[in-house]
Structure 1
């Protein structure tokens, strides 16, 4: 007697994407809320530069970071190609955002009104990455394994 085989789609990995985005977004939001309460830091408005920048110098340097990142992304996509360039894009995003956040921490420590602003910024980035990676492994293991395989092939060459 033959067993009934159910149809499996080659795109089953896509079912975990909505859960990945929702859970990682909610977890980051909740952890940031808890950190803000503990440190007594005010939440900055979304999509507003008001309160985000410590001073005009900070705003100017942030622009250089952002525009420089866009230029580097475009160069990397053309140098490594759009197929292989996607892995570099993700890796590059993590690598470029670290100095940007450290610069923000430096200026907040020196110039912010609240002495705990820099502590929140210093904790926010690594905690968000840990949550992001944990949710990636949990909800989209196939994509995460593919990413790790490509990453290991880059560093083994």
Structure 2
């Protein structure tokens, strides 16, 4: 099962990389320098909002996880919460890239990456690829 999960994640990463490459070439978007595990905030307001989103996600995640474990809520409840967090995080980043960055076209890449990840997670849920829902 872990090999399957790893292969799905690897496939999504490859797809995101290809789509980003094609969009960069088509829309002439400059490559942004960023470290692998960095947050790369646009400004101080972006940092504060993203930290609120992250803390909110952690709190909601703990609540959802305990509901799934102790109240026998379906696992899909947690997965939908994960999709909501991914969407919120990407929209906040895209907004600040578009409005407050010197490279506003980066927002296109952020939104396309979000769409791919959300589509992939949704398809995994819909087709119950890893038998989470059974």
Q: TM exceeds 0.5?
A: yes
Instruction: Mark the runs of 5 or more structure 1 residues left unpaired by the alignment.
Output: 1-12, 151-157
Aligned to 1:71: 59
Q: Is the 8 A contact 2:53 2:89 kept in 1?
A: yes
Distance 2:92 2:81 in 1: 17
Distance 1:131 1:79 in 2: 25
Q: Is the 8 A contact 2:86 2:118 kept in 1?
A: no
Does the C-alpha gap of structure 1 residues 105 and 14 become closer, same or farther in structure 2, counting only changes over 3 Å? closer
Larger RCO (alpha carbons 8 Å, 6+ apart): 1
1:122 is aligned to 2:107: no
Aligned to 2:83: 94
Q: Is the 8 A contact 2:68 2:78 kept in 1?
A: no
- Highest Rg: 1 or 2? 1
Task: Tell me the matched-pair count.
Answer: 130
Distance 1:16 1:65 in 2: 30
What are the residue-to-residue correspondences of 1:50-61 with 2, within 5 Å? 52-61=40-49
Cα deviation, 1:95-153, whole Å, max 9, x if unaligned, reads 1221222222222221110131222222221133334555x48xxx5x33855x67xxx
Q: Is the 8 A contact 2:94 2:111 kept in 1?
A: yes
Aligned to 1:62: 50
Does the C-alpha gap of structure 1 residues 14 and 45 become closer, same or farther in structure 2, counting only changes over 3 Å? closer
Does the C-alpha gap of structure 1 residues 146 and 55 become closer, same or farther in structure 2, counting only changes over 3 Å? same
Distance 1:21 1:124 in 2: 13
Instruction: Mark the runs of 5 or more structure 2 residues left unpaired by the alignment.
Output: none
Distance 1:57 1:30 in 2: 31
